[in-house]
Each structure stands twice: as structure tokens, then as C-alpha cells.
Chain A
Amino acid sequence: MEKVTRRSFVTTVGAASVLPAGALLASAQAAEPVKQTHPDTAGVATSDISVADRPTYLFFNAAEVLFIEAACERLIPADENGFGALGAAVPNYLDKQLGGAWGAGERLYRSGPWQPGTPSQGYQLPFTPAELFRTCLRAIDQQLAAKNTPFHEMSADTQDLYLKSLESGVYELDGVPSGIFFNMLLQMSIEGFFADPAYGGNKDMVAWRMIGFPGAYADYYEAIDKHGVKFEREPLSLAEDGRGHLHMRPDIPASL
């Protein structure tokens, strides 16, 4: 497999992304079917991730994008195994989820009164995921701006140290224990990496290819007899058509 650096992989994308980063364009991203290409046959690599290849962010503002893209790429970095969070469009997944029903509190019991509780009792904050991200990203931005070290300008090692400190809960982000924010960021990044690409992450099914997960079409009646034999098949998304085009659907509800 060719050596992949953080900025060398660029896949072809649909027309909707030829826009300045952060510009609002309702539904265009979701509506345009994106041709699936294998990373090895992708378009020309550039030395930087160009504006043309950025997703259209609808939830994150420009400052938040800088943190999210950098942080997600530290959580799931590109390496010799393949793309990391950026190449897999994980920030795009987060953006679409936080800007949709899930971010607004789908599947969350939201009545008070509120108490912190014990670790066994789980999440007890009044915030929806969207509110939590807004609150904590603002607090992080302020904290780092006060020291004149924005996250996206730190070295990778320094970024990792900072993320570890968030993870350990050392900070309170406007009253929110930082570990709670970190866990939600990590959990959503893993989701965005491994979920069906219908949701806007796992671009080109890179994460599935990396581990050999075949995806949404799953009849293994014959193959299960072949003990110990590698299962070789392109992964298939639930959102692709017979021509390999993916029709992204970030609005799938969390109920039947």
C-alpha cells in the first residue's frame, strides 16, 4: 500500500463542495450522490487539503472547524494502514449529526432535576449533544486563546498532550467536566469512522476496507464454511446504487 501522509490523499468529491469552507448550503451536500472511488484510483494529490475537498459544514463555524478537524485527526490519525479521521470525513459526520436530530437531543431523556450522579449512572447533564459541543468548544477556544496557542497550530505531540488532559477531566469547560466532552468527541469520531458512509463519514468505506468489514450486504451462508479463509469482497454501503454511487443520508432517524 502506498505511503499515505496526512495531506497526500485527496479523493474526488461531488460538485457541492466547491465552496468556501463554512458557507451554508442547505441540503446540497446531502442531495448530491458522490461517486465512490477507491483511494488508490483517486484524483491528483495536493500538498494541502484544498478548499475544494472540504465538506460543507452546516453546524460548525470556521473556528470550530479548525479545532474539530485537528482534534479528530489526532484521535484517529492517518498512518500506513490508511486514512485517518480527515480522510474518512469524520468531521463531516460530526457536523451533520450535531446539526440534525441527534444533536438536538434525539433519544435523550431531558427532564430535570439534574444532579451529577455516580459514574454508574451515566450522562446527567441538561445539554443536548449540540449544546455540549457549542459550550465546550467555546470554552476550549477561550482557554487556548488566553495562552495564545490555538489547538490547530500546536505540534501533533502537544495536541495529544492537550487531548489527554481533556480526557482526564482536569479541566472544567464552562462547568462541564472535560472528560464528558472528550468521551462524546471520541465516541462520535469512532462512529463517524466506522458507520455506514450514508451518514457522511467513513468516506469511500476506507475504515471498512482497512479492517475487512464487508458492510451492509451480508449473506454469508456459503462463506461461513470456509474456516480461516480471508473474505475478499469490496465493502457495500446500504446507500449505494447498482452503479456504485453513494446517496448520503445523514437524516436517518434513530427510530424505526
Chain B
Amino acid sequence: MAQRLKEVDVVIIGVGMVGTMVAKELAAAGYKVVGLERGQTRATVPEFQSPGIHDELRFDVRKALMQDNTREPVSFRNQTSQVALPVRRWESFLPGTGLGGSMVHWNGQTYRFQANDFQLATRTRERYGKNFLDSDLTIQDWGVTYNELEPHYDRFEYLLGTSGKAGNIKGQIQPGGDPHESPRSREYPTPPQKEHYQGALFRKAADSLGYHPFPQPSSNLSQPYTNPEGLKLNTCVFCGFCERYACEHYAKSVPQTVLLPVLLANPNFELRTGCQVQRINLDSSKKHATGVTYIDAVGREFEQPASLVITSMFAINNVRMLLLSGIGKPYEPASGQGVVGRNYAYQTMSTVASFFDEDVIINPFMASGASGTLINDFAGDNFDHSGLGFIGGAFIGAVNTNGRPIEYHPTPPGTPNWGKAWKQAVVKHYNHTVMFSLHGSSMAARQNYCDLDPTYRDAWGQPLLRITFDFPQNDLKMAAHVTAKAVEIGKAMGAKQVAGSPRKAPYTVTQYQTTHNTGGTVMGDNPKTSVVNRYLQSWDVPNVFVIGASNYPQNASWNPTDTLGALTYWAIDALKNKYLKNPGHLVSA
């Protein structure tokens, strides 16, 4: 029998970056906030210290920082005609867990989306006509514009101390930055990180082809920085253990380094770890949440009543929480009815490998998670898609983050997987290869969605989230197109051999691509095609707010984190200044 606890103002499910930001602001505003985190607490000291943290087998291969898949995996299939099976080991995407969440082990790649992305449906129609899109695509406008989010992007980047070079300040194009970016109000808080040799080779080649290379915006800082919360970060030393690892030097912008100390010092906030939330509880009208039910690490069940519930978990877990709680109508692809789980998307990743002679020494192990050089000339709608038969694009860059040898030992196509020839190729190419990443958009399609699995359960007896996904034809055409462009850049670098690997179907969960799962609780203006309104408030249960990349109607050409940070400040603004002053629907349906 669940023990009922004393009511609080706000309960927050998931204390990652989003949960930390919301909790900090609301606790500072005087509200009593409880944060429920299923994982454990951890801090830079001692958990993130080197040399122990620089263990590729443990953190890269075995995914030591990731969600406990033995108790809570997901299930997956490419098509509805297949039976979904459990993802028994994480590979394709790696959800985080624990205090600070996935942002503890992110790469620090900090890109804004462009104005066009927020009104993708409208602008695509305007530019290319209404018959341009493939019939399976269900792309939508977000219900919020870039201009509305700009001050919140700015605030988030200054919280992090992001290192970069602005390309467009209030409409003025800045040399050295990305001329394609949408206007920002001011320069980045710290200058770009140092460029490594790969980046320099890429830059020269991209320039020679008339493209516009710029330094990757990095939340692994280029110099010491004190953020507006008074927290100090240090200089990143390019150790090459960024994604999947935590930073020992206080140089990566993660909740522990940029905000958690402030939150944890506020007595209005109470952190409870080891707490697995089972559902958001609704009253008999089903239009009002009364709080949440959770099970703690010892197995005891509790009911935490609250006036306001925020679900700020990793994207796919947000979707699952609404489905388990019966909030919103679940989506069914056959009928096209329902919204929860709809418009699930991912990221369309391709690579290009450029092999050099042995006198070109690359030193791939010297890098941060975001110290590359890239171009946006083929990202988003930055190029004319007329006649190409697809929308979207990818950034192309020499953005390789590491030389960790279990997973990084590039060999040219045709090299055997093992044996003498393999070993010789590894030695020949390890320190003489430049890898490009092509980070492509992922368009929402009616056949790609999330729901609850009918067979497989987690350790608490709850159905797993079931993901049904394959790359739409649109995205495969995009991948082929940008890969061909990237191969030209490889050749322009003077490489001896350039091999492009455009993304091909079927999507497989057996190969790492990104952890950029989006959609399922989409934001928008229309409750028939969205789960939350433009303030991230549930259309169905107005005292539930859902904050995560699960709100993205489709995924753009860049990593989702900066946009999520901006949306979070945007939602916090609505919570503090609108909702909490006058609870109720903020947007009429």
C-alpha cells in the first residue's frame, strides 16, 4: 500500500539538466519543490576523476554511466508488421541516468536550430510548394518562433559558458562564424576552443570549395569562466574522453558544474534519489494531476501529492510516462488518431573517412567533444532543394572527438575484419585518418512512433516503451546527397583515399549513431496534432508540463541540447509569470 506523503507545490520527475533548471528557478521563487531521480547522486569529485574515468572499456563499450537496461530497456522494431523485441544491450542510443542525467556525459556540442526549423511545415510549403513533401512525412510547425526563443538560447549559453564565434549578431554577419545562423543578440560567452589539425585540414579544404567553415560551438570551455550563478568552470585540456564520460576538470558544462550546487543549497528543494516514478496520478475527472506514485530503492511505494507536476526525463521516458499515466490519447499509426507517441524521430548520421599517407600525423586522441570545424552549407534549408526530392540536410565537419582504440581504428573499405591484413591496416591508418561526421535531420513520418509494448516489462512490472522506426526515404536521399558533397571536401584535403558511408536502411539498434531521440510529446498550436501547447503544458491535464526533446515535432540538422535549454527557460518563464500566478490552461484549445 502506497504511503501518502505531505503535499508539495511542485514535483519534478527526473533531475537532469532540465529538472535542475526548473527546480532551481521555482525553489528560488519560493515554491516547495521535490525532485525525484531514479538514479544515484554523483559529483565531479569523486565520481568523475581521472585516471579512472579514462577507461574506454568501462564507459564506452560497457556504457557504465547509462540507464540500467537490465531493469528498464525499451523494445524496438522497424515496421508495425514485425514483433518488437527488447533492446537487450544499449548501442544505437544511450539514455543517461543519475543526478545530472545525460548531460553529465554529453559532448558539449551546442548548436541553435535555425528560424526555418521552427516553422518547417509553413516555410517548406512557401518555398517549394505544397506537393514537395513525400506523403509519409508529418512535419509540423512548433508553435513557437526562433525570435521568441532567442533570449532563452542566450541565457542558456551564458549559463554554460559556451565557447564559440558568433556568425550573425543582430543581422550583421561576423567573419569567422557561421553565416547561416539565425541572428543572435551577442557574442558567445567565451571564445572558440583551439582548432586541432583535423579541423585545420578541413577548414582549408572547405574554404577552397567556397564553403563557410566555422569552429564548433563547445561547452567544453576554452578558458576559465564564472557563470551568472557564480559557478566557476576551468579550461578543457582536450583529453579525448568526452562523450560517454564525465569531466574531471570542471571544464565541461554539466548540471554539476553550472547549476546543481546552487539548487542543492536551497532548502525549498528536496532531492530524492533511487526513486522510480511509476505514474502521474490523476483525479476522477482525468483532467487534473494529484501528484505521482514512486517506488524507492528499498522497494517501498510512496504517493507524493503536488499541485504541479513537471516531467523532465530523457525524451523517450517522458513519452512513456504519459502513456503509463493515461495522459493524452495514444497515437495509432493505422488510423492516424491520437497524439502521444506520434512524430518520433531520431538523427540521420553518415560518415566520410579520408585516409592519408603516413607522413600526415593526425593525433585523433587530442580533442574535446566539440573542438571540431564544420560547415552548415548543406544543413537545414541553407541550400536550394528544388529538384532534389527531399528536405532537410546535415552539418558536415571534422568533428571527431577521440582516438579511443577499441572503437576507433579506421580501415579503408575492403579491409577484412580480422587477421593479418586487418592488423596491418589498423597500424597504417590509425594516426593518418580524418573522419567527417554528417549530422543529418530526421523528419517525422506517420509510420514512426512510440507506444507501450504488449509483452515485455521492466523490473517494476510496467510495460516497456516500444519504438517503431525506420528512416523515411526523404532522409535517405538527404544522406546520399550530403555524403557526396562531403566526399568532395575529403578529396580537397588531399587525402589519398576518401570513402563515404551514407546512412542506409534499415535502421539498426546495433550500431551507435546518436542519443538524439525526439518527439512523442510534440508541442504545437493544435491539440489534434500535439500533446503540449507552446508553453509545454499538457492540453489534457493543465497542471502537467512536459519538458524534453520529446516536444520536438521533428529533428533538425543539429544536436538537440541547446534548443532544449532554450525551451526550458521559455517554459520556466511561462510557469513563473503565467501559470503559477493563475493556474489553468495557458492556451485555449
Contacts and interface: CB of A to CB of B under 8 A. Distances in A.
Chain A directly contacts chain B within the complex, with at least one CB pair under 8 Å: yes
B587 interface: no
Contacts of A123: 88-89
26 contacts: A74-B419, A75-B418, A79-B424, A81-B427, A107-B69, A108-B70, A118-B82, A121-B76, A121-B85, A122-B89, A122-B508, A186-B417, A186-B418, A191-B57, A191-B61, A196-B55, A216-B50, A216-B51, A217-B50, A218-B237, A219-B239, A220-B240, A220-B365, A221-B237, A227-B197, A256-B98
Given A121-B510, A224-B238, A253-B64, 12 more contacts: A81-B423, A109-B73, A109-B89, A111-B86, A119-B510, A120-B510, A195-B57, A213-B404, A218-B241, A221-B238, A224-B363, A256-B40
Interface of B: 40, 42, 47, 50-52, 54-58, 61-65, 68-70, 73, 76-78, 82-83, 85-89, 91, 98, 194, 196-197, 200, 235-241, 360-361, 363, 365-367, 403-406, 409, 417-420, 422-424, 426-427, 430-431, 455-457, 506-510
A75 B63 contact: no
Given A79-B423, A109-B88, A238 B361 contact: no
Given A110-B70, A199-B57, A224 B62 contact: no
Interface string A110-135: 11010101111111100000000000
A215 to B, nearest CB: 8
Nearest to B200: A227
Contacts of A213: 365, 403-405, 430
A220 B237 contact: yes
A194 interface: yes
A231 B366 contact: yes
A212 B430 contact: yes
Contacts of B430: 211-213
Interface string A173-198: 00000000000001001110011101
Contact of B87 (A109, A119, A198, A238): A109
A214 B238 CA distance: 13
A211 B55 contact: no
A235 to B, nearest CB: 10
A228 B363 CA distance: 8
A120 B507 contact: yes
Contacts of A160: 419
A211 B89 contact: no
B151 to A, nearest CB: 34
A124 B86 CA distance: 8
Nearest to B87: A122
A229 B361 contact: yes
A173 B488 CA distance: 46
Contact of B405 (A111, A211, A218, A229): A211
Nearest to A79: B420
B194 A225 contact: yes
A218 B365 contact: yes
Contacts of B418: 74-76, 163, 186, 189
B208 to A, nearest CB: 18
A111 B456 contact: yes
A256 B64 contact: yes
Nearest to A195: B57
Contacts, number: 193
Contacts of A107: 62-63, 69-70, 89
B196 A224 contact: yes
Contacts of B419: 74-75, 77, 160
A9 interface: no
A102 interface: yes
Contacts of B62: 102, 106-107, 254
A182 B29 CA distance: 59
Nearest to B201: A227
A16 interface: no
A207 interface: yes
A163 B418 CA distance: 10
B57 A121 contact: no
Given A119-B510, A211-B431, A218 B50 contact: yes
Contact of A218 (B86, B240, B431): B240
Most chain B beta-carbon contacts within 10 A, residue among A115, A118, A186:
A118
A154 B309 CA distance: 67
Contacts of A121: 76-77, 85, 87, 508-510
Contacts of A215: 54
Contacts of B361: 228-230
Contacts of B89: 107-109, 122-123
Contacts of B50: 216-218, 238
A73 to B, nearest CB: 10
Contacts of A196: 55-57
B245 to A, nearest CB: 10
Contact of A220 (B57, B88, B239, B409): B239
Contacts of B404: 213
B424 A228 contact: no
Contact of B54 (A81, A186, A216): A216
Contacts of B196: 224, 227
A201 to B, nearest CB: 9
A111 B98 CA distance: 24
Given A79-B424, A211-B430, A218-B239, A224 B194 contact: yes
Nearest to A238: B51
A76 B86 contact: no
Nearest to B71: A109
Contacts of A118: 77-78, 82, 506
